[in-house]
Amino acid sequence: MNKNNNNNFNINNININKLKNYLPENNHTYFFIIIAIVLIVLIILIIRNFLHGASMYQRYVKNVFFREIDELDGKPLDVSGSNGFNICIQGEKTDQTYIENKFLHIKSDYLLMFWVKLESEKISSYINEAKLDVDLISFENTNKTKYYPKFTMNIMNNEMSVHVKDDTIKSKLYNLPYDEWFCLSSYVTPDHMDIYINGKLVKIIEYKVDISTLSIDNHQLKIGPYPGSIAYLQVNNDSSYFNPASVYKEYLVYKALIKRYVDNQYHDSYKITKMRNPHHDNGSYNRVKKTEKPNICSN
Protein backbone atom coordinates (compact mmCIF):
# COMPACT_ATOMS: atom_id res chain seq x y z
CA MET A 1 0.00 0.00 0.00
CA ASN A 2 2.79 2.42 0.90
CA LYS A 3 4.60 1.54 -2.28
CA ASN A 4 1.60 2.57 -4.40
CA ASN A 5 1.31 5.87 -2.55
CA ASN A 6 4.94 6.68 -3.27
CA ASN A 7 4.33 6.14 -6.98
CA ASN A 8 1.52 8.69 -7.11
CA PHE A 9 3.02 11.98 -8.24
CA ASN A 10 1.59 15.10 -6.64
CA ILE A 11 2.95 18.49 -7.66
CA ASN A 12 1.95 19.86 -4.23
CA ASN A 13 4.50 17.56 -2.58
CA ILE A 14 7.45 19.09 -4.43
CA ASN A 15 9.77 21.00 -2.09
CA ILE A 16 11.77 23.46 -4.17
CA ASN A 17 14.33 24.03 -1.42
CA LYS A 18 15.05 20.32 -1.06
CA LEU A 19 15.22 20.00 -4.82
CA LYS A 20 17.91 22.69 -4.93
CA ASN A 21 20.08 20.61 -2.59
CA TYR A 22 20.40 17.94 -5.25
CA LEU A 23 21.91 20.46 -7.65
CA PRO A 24 25.49 21.70 -7.55
CA GLU A 25 25.76 25.23 -6.18
CA ASN A 26 26.74 26.69 -9.54
CA ASN A 27 23.66 25.15 -11.20
CA HIS A 28 21.07 26.94 -9.04
CA THR A 29 20.85 29.80 -11.50
CA TYR A 30 20.19 27.40 -14.37
CA PHE A 31 17.53 25.66 -12.34
CA PHE A 32 15.57 28.86 -11.72
CA ILE A 33 15.94 29.83 -15.38
CA ILE A 34 14.36 26.50 -16.36
CA ILE A 35 11.52 27.03 -13.87
CA ALA A 36 10.93 30.52 -15.27
CA ILE A 37 10.82 29.17 -18.84
CA VAL A 38 8.30 26.49 -17.83
CA LEU A 39 6.06 29.09 -16.18
CA ILE A 40 6.24 31.38 -19.23
CA VAL A 41 5.28 28.47 -21.52
CA LEU A 42 2.31 27.64 -19.28
CA ILE A 43 1.12 31.26 -19.35
CA ILE A 44 1.43 31.35 -23.15
CA LEU A 45 -0.60 28.13 -23.45
CA ILE A 46 -3.33 29.51 -21.18
CA ILE A 47 -3.57 32.75 -23.19
CA ARG A 48 -3.56 30.79 -26.45
CA ASN A 49 -6.41 28.55 -25.29
CA PHE A 50 -8.40 31.59 -24.20
CA LEU A 51 -7.96 33.29 -27.59
CA HIS A 52 -8.80 30.03 -29.36
CA GLY A 53 -12.01 29.81 -27.34
CA ALA A 54 -12.95 33.36 -28.33
CA SER A 55 -12.27 32.52 -31.96
CA MET A 56 -14.42 29.39 -31.77
CA TYR A 57 -17.20 31.44 -30.20
CA GLN A 58 -17.11 33.83 -33.15
CA ARG A 59 -17.02 30.91 -35.54
CA TYR A 60 -20.03 29.08 -34.15
CA VAL A 61 -22.33 31.93 -33.23
CA LYS A 62 -25.87 31.97 -34.58
CA ASN A 63 -27.82 35.19 -34.30
CA VAL A 64 -31.41 35.93 -35.28
CA PHE A 65 -32.87 39.43 -35.59
CA PHE A 66 -36.33 40.85 -36.45
CA ARG A 67 -38.29 38.51 -34.22
CA GLU A 68 -41.28 40.84 -33.87
CA ILE A 69 -43.75 38.14 -34.93
CA ASP A 70 -42.63 35.65 -32.30
CA GLU A 71 -45.73 36.89 -30.51
CA LEU A 72 -48.98 36.46 -32.40
CA ASP A 73 -49.97 40.05 -31.64
CA GLY A 74 -46.68 41.32 -33.02
CA LYS A 75 -46.13 42.97 -36.38
CA PRO A 76 -43.19 42.42 -38.74
CA LEU A 77 -40.81 45.33 -39.10
CA ASP A 78 -41.89 47.70 -41.88
CA VAL A 79 -38.69 48.91 -43.60
CA SER A 80 -40.35 51.05 -46.26
CA GLY A 81 -40.32 54.37 -44.40
CA SER A 82 -37.85 56.99 -45.56
CA ASN A 83 -37.56 58.28 -41.97
CA GLY A 84 -35.92 55.08 -40.79
CA PHE A 85 -37.05 52.41 -38.35
CA ASN A 86 -35.97 50.82 -35.07
CA ILE A 87 -33.85 47.68 -35.01
CA CYS A 88 -33.85 45.62 -31.83
CA ILE A 89 -30.34 44.49 -30.88
CA GLN A 90 -29.82 42.48 -27.68
CA GLY A 91 -32.93 43.86 -26.02
CA GLU A 92 -32.29 47.51 -26.96
CA LYS A 93 -34.11 49.44 -29.69
CA THR A 94 -31.85 51.51 -31.90
CA ASP A 95 -32.72 54.24 -34.39
CA GLN A 96 -30.08 53.03 -36.84
CA THR A 97 -30.94 51.04 -39.98
CA TYR A 98 -27.92 48.74 -39.75
CA ILE A 99 -26.40 46.10 -37.48
CA GLU A 100 -22.70 46.42 -36.65
CA ASN A 101 -20.46 43.43 -37.21
CA LYS A 102 -19.60 43.29 -33.50
CA PHE A 103 -23.10 41.80 -33.08
CA LEU A 104 -22.76 39.49 -36.12
CA HIS A 105 -19.21 38.06 -35.70
CA ILE A 106 -18.68 37.67 -39.47
CA LYS A 107 -15.08 36.80 -40.40
CA SER A 108 -15.15 35.00 -43.75
CA ASP A 109 -17.59 32.22 -44.66
CA TYR A 110 -21.09 32.67 -43.30
CA LEU A 111 -24.76 31.95 -43.96
CA LEU A 112 -27.15 34.88 -44.35
CA MET A 113 -30.87 34.11 -44.26
CA PHE A 114 -33.84 36.47 -44.05
CA TRP A 115 -37.54 36.68 -44.87
CA VAL A 116 -38.95 39.41 -47.09
CA LYS A 117 -42.44 40.54 -48.01
CA LEU A 118 -42.68 42.99 -50.93
CA GLU A 119 -46.06 44.71 -50.82
CA SER A 120 -47.86 45.93 -53.94
CA GLU A 121 -49.40 48.98 -52.30
CA LYS A 122 -46.02 50.20 -51.08
CA ILE A 123 -44.39 49.31 -54.39
CA SER A 124 -46.94 51.53 -56.15
CA SER A 125 -45.99 54.43 -53.86
CA TYR A 126 -42.31 53.88 -54.57
CA ILE A 127 -42.93 53.84 -58.33
CA ASN A 128 -44.96 57.05 -58.12
CA GLU A 129 -41.98 58.64 -56.36
CA ALA A 130 -39.62 57.26 -59.03
CA LYS A 131 -37.88 55.00 -56.51
CA LEU A 132 -37.35 52.07 -58.82
CA ASP A 133 -34.03 50.68 -57.55
CA VAL A 134 -33.99 49.78 -53.87
CA ASP A 135 -31.58 48.05 -51.48
CA LEU A 136 -32.84 44.91 -49.78
CA ILE A 137 -29.84 44.22 -47.60
CA SER A 138 -26.13 44.95 -47.74
CA PHE A 139 -23.12 43.90 -45.67
CA GLU A 140 -21.00 46.96 -46.40
CA ASN A 141 -18.19 49.15 -45.14
CA THR A 142 -19.02 52.55 -43.67
CA ASN A 143 -18.14 54.27 -46.96
CA LYS A 144 -20.58 52.02 -48.85
CA THR A 145 -17.94 51.08 -51.41
CA LYS A 146 -17.27 47.42 -50.51
CA TYR A 147 -19.92 44.73 -50.19
CA TYR A 148 -19.91 41.14 -48.99
CA PRO A 149 -22.58 40.98 -50.46
CA LYS A 150 -25.33 43.46 -51.39
CA PHE A 151 -28.81 42.63 -52.70
CA THR A 152 -30.67 45.30 -54.68
CA MET A 153 -33.93 45.20 -56.57
CA ASN A 154 -35.59 46.94 -59.47
CA ILE A 155 -39.21 46.83 -58.32
CA MET A 156 -40.59 47.85 -61.72
CA ASN A 157 -38.99 44.89 -63.51
CA ASN A 158 -39.08 42.49 -60.53
CA GLU A 159 -35.35 41.98 -60.92
CA MET A 160 -32.95 41.34 -58.05
CA SER A 161 -29.22 42.02 -58.47
CA VAL A 162 -26.35 40.59 -56.42
CA HIS A 163 -23.21 42.69 -55.84
CA VAL A 164 -19.94 41.50 -54.35
CA LYS A 165 -16.87 43.58 -53.53
CA ASP A 166 -18.10 46.69 -55.39
CA ASP A 167 -21.17 47.96 -57.24
CA THR A 168 -20.54 45.64 -60.17
CA ILE A 169 -23.51 43.31 -60.63
CA LYS A 170 -22.39 39.68 -60.35
CA SER A 171 -25.74 38.06 -61.09
CA LYS A 172 -29.48 38.63 -61.33
CA LEU A 173 -32.62 36.80 -60.25
CA TYR A 174 -36.10 37.40 -61.60
CA ASN A 175 -39.79 37.03 -60.73
CA LEU A 176 -39.64 37.12 -56.95
CA PRO A 177 -43.10 36.91 -55.35
CA TYR A 178 -45.01 40.02 -54.35
CA ASP A 179 -47.49 40.19 -51.45
CA GLU A 180 -46.28 37.01 -49.82
CA TRP A 181 -43.37 36.06 -47.61
CA PHE A 182 -40.34 34.43 -49.18
CA CYS A 183 -36.96 33.41 -47.77
CA LEU A 184 -33.68 34.56 -49.31
CA SER A 185 -30.53 32.73 -48.17
CA SER A 186 -26.93 33.01 -49.26
CA TYR A 187 -23.86 31.05 -48.28
CA VAL A 188 -21.08 33.61 -48.73
CA THR A 189 -17.39 32.76 -49.22
CA PRO A 190 -14.38 34.62 -50.66
CA ASP A 191 -14.70 32.82 -54.04
CA HIS A 192 -18.35 31.91 -54.51
CA MET A 193 -21.88 32.38 -53.22
CA ASP A 194 -24.75 29.89 -53.10
CA ILE A 195 -28.15 31.59 -53.35
CA TYR A 196 -31.33 29.92 -52.12
CA ILE A 197 -34.95 30.98 -52.56
CA ASN A 198 -37.36 29.34 -50.11
CA GLY A 199 -34.74 26.82 -49.07
CA LYS A 200 -33.85 25.66 -52.59
CA LEU A 201 -30.54 26.32 -54.30
CA VAL A 202 -31.22 28.45 -57.39
CA LYS A 203 -27.82 29.89 -58.33
CA ILE A 204 -24.10 29.67 -57.66
CA ILE A 205 -22.04 32.81 -58.32
CA GLU A 206 -18.27 32.68 -58.72
CA TYR A 207 -15.93 35.60 -58.04
CA LYS A 208 -12.73 36.39 -56.18
CA VAL A 209 -12.52 38.54 -53.05
CA ASP A 210 -9.47 39.21 -50.90
CA ILE A 211 -10.95 39.23 -47.41
CA SER A 212 -7.95 41.11 -46.00
CA THR A 213 -8.79 44.15 -48.16
CA LEU A 214 -12.41 44.40 -47.02
CA SER A 215 -11.82 45.26 -43.35
CA ILE A 216 -14.80 43.13 -42.43
CA ASP A 217 -14.62 43.99 -38.74
CA ASN A 218 -15.72 47.51 -39.68
CA HIS A 219 -18.58 46.35 -41.91
CA GLN A 220 -22.25 46.67 -41.00
CA LEU A 221 -25.40 44.95 -42.20
CA LYS A 222 -27.57 47.67 -43.75
CA ILE A 223 -31.31 47.01 -44.01
CA GLY A 224 -33.44 48.56 -46.77
CA PRO A 225 -35.29 50.71 -47.20
CA TYR A 226 -37.57 48.83 -49.59
CA PRO A 227 -41.36 48.66 -50.02
CA GLY A 228 -42.15 45.89 -47.58
CA SER A 229 -41.26 44.10 -44.35
CA ILE A 230 -38.50 41.88 -42.98
CA ALA A 231 -38.51 39.03 -40.46
CA TYR A 232 -36.18 36.42 -38.99
CA LEU A 233 -32.82 37.55 -40.29
CA GLN A 234 -30.08 35.21 -39.18
CA VAL A 235 -26.33 35.30 -39.57
CA ASN A 236 -24.77 31.91 -38.96
CA ASN A 237 -21.04 31.15 -38.76
CA ASP A 238 -21.39 27.44 -37.98
CA SER A 239 -19.91 25.45 -40.89
CA SER A 240 -22.30 22.56 -40.20
CA TYR A 241 -25.03 24.77 -41.69
CA PHE A 242 -23.13 25.45 -44.93
CA ASN A 243 -24.91 22.82 -47.03
CA PRO A 244 -28.26 22.58 -48.89
CA ALA A 245 -29.82 20.10 -46.44
CA SER A 246 -29.17 22.32 -43.40
CA VAL A 247 -30.29 25.47 -45.22
CA TYR A 248 -33.57 23.77 -46.12
CA LYS A 249 -34.02 22.57 -42.55
CA GLU A 250 -33.51 26.13 -41.24
CA TYR A 251 -35.96 27.40 -43.83
CA LEU A 252 -38.63 24.97 -42.60
CA VAL A 253 -38.18 26.15 -38.99
CA TYR A 254 -38.95 29.78 -39.84
CA LYS A 255 -41.52 28.87 -42.49
CA ALA A 256 -43.59 27.35 -39.70
CA LEU A 257 -43.33 30.56 -37.65
CA ILE A 258 -44.26 32.71 -40.66
CA LYS A 259 -47.23 30.46 -41.43
CA ARG A 260 -48.39 30.68 -37.83
CA TYR A 261 -48.33 34.48 -38.05
CA VAL A 262 -50.15 34.54 -41.43
CA ASP A 263 -52.79 32.09 -40.17
CA ASN A 264 -53.35 34.26 -37.12
CA GLN A 265 -53.85 37.31 -39.36
CA TYR A 266 -56.54 35.35 -41.19
CA HIS A 267 -58.15 34.38 -37.88
CA ASP A 268 -58.22 38.02 -36.79
CA SER A 269 -59.61 39.27 -40.11
CA TYR A 270 -62.50 36.82 -40.11
CA LYS A 271 -63.16 36.91 -36.34
CA ILE A 272 -62.25 33.29 -35.86
CA THR A 273 -61.23 32.06 -32.43
CA LYS A 274 -57.88 33.61 -31.57
CA MET A 275 -54.86 31.37 -31.86
CA ARG A 276 -52.65 30.81 -28.86
CA ASN A 277 -48.99 31.52 -28.54
CA PRO A 278 -46.88 28.35 -28.36
CA HIS A 279 -43.85 28.37 -26.13
CA HIS A 280 -40.53 28.65 -27.95
CA ASP A 281 -37.12 27.53 -26.87
CA ASN A 282 -35.04 30.68 -27.08
CA GLY A 283 -31.95 28.55 -27.60
CA SER A 284 -33.15 27.66 -31.10
CA TYR A 285 -32.55 31.28 -32.05
CA ASN A 286 -29.28 32.25 -30.39
CA ARG A 287 -26.28 30.10 -29.62
CA VAL A 288 -24.48 32.94 -27.91
CA LYS A 289 -23.03 33.59 -24.50
CA LYS A 290 -25.62 33.55 -21.74
CA THR A 291 -24.57 37.07 -20.81
CA GLU A 292 -25.78 38.35 -24.18
CA LYS A 293 -29.45 39.21 -24.44
CA PRO A 294 -31.65 37.92 -27.29
CA ASN A 295 -32.73 40.35 -30.00
CA ILE A 296 -36.19 40.93 -28.52
CA CYS A 297 -37.59 44.31 -27.46
CA SER A 298 -40.88 45.18 -25.81
CA ASN A 299 -43.21 47.29 -27.90
Domain boundaries, the chain: 13-54, 64-284
| Res 253 pLDDT > 50 | yes
Among 26-40, 176-190, 262-276, the range with the most confident prediction by mean pLDDT is 176-190
What is the average pLDDT score of the chain? 82
Q: Is-contact 151 161, C-beta < 8 A?
A: yes
User: What is the pTM (predicted TM-score) of this model?
Assistant: 0.73
Choose among 13, 11, 36, 9: nearest CA to 28: 36
Centroid of chain to Cα 81: 25
pLDDT above 90: residue 268: no
Which H helix or E strand runs over 282? none
DSSP 18: H
E strands in the chain: 62-65, 77-78, 87-89, 92-94, 98-100, 110-118, 133-140, 147-154, 159-163, 169-174, 181-188, 192-197, 200-206, 220-223, 228-236
pLDDT higher at 53 or 70? 70
pLDDT value at 226 more than 90: yes
Nearest CA to 42 among 34, 260, 199? 34
Q: What is the DSSP letter of 286?
A: -
- Give the SS3 label for residue 238: coil
Q: How far is CA 277 from CA 65, 138, 260, 265, 269, in A?
A: 19, 33, 9, 13, 18
The CATH class for the domain spanning 64-284 reads mainly beta
Residue scoring higher pLDDT (226 or 27): 226
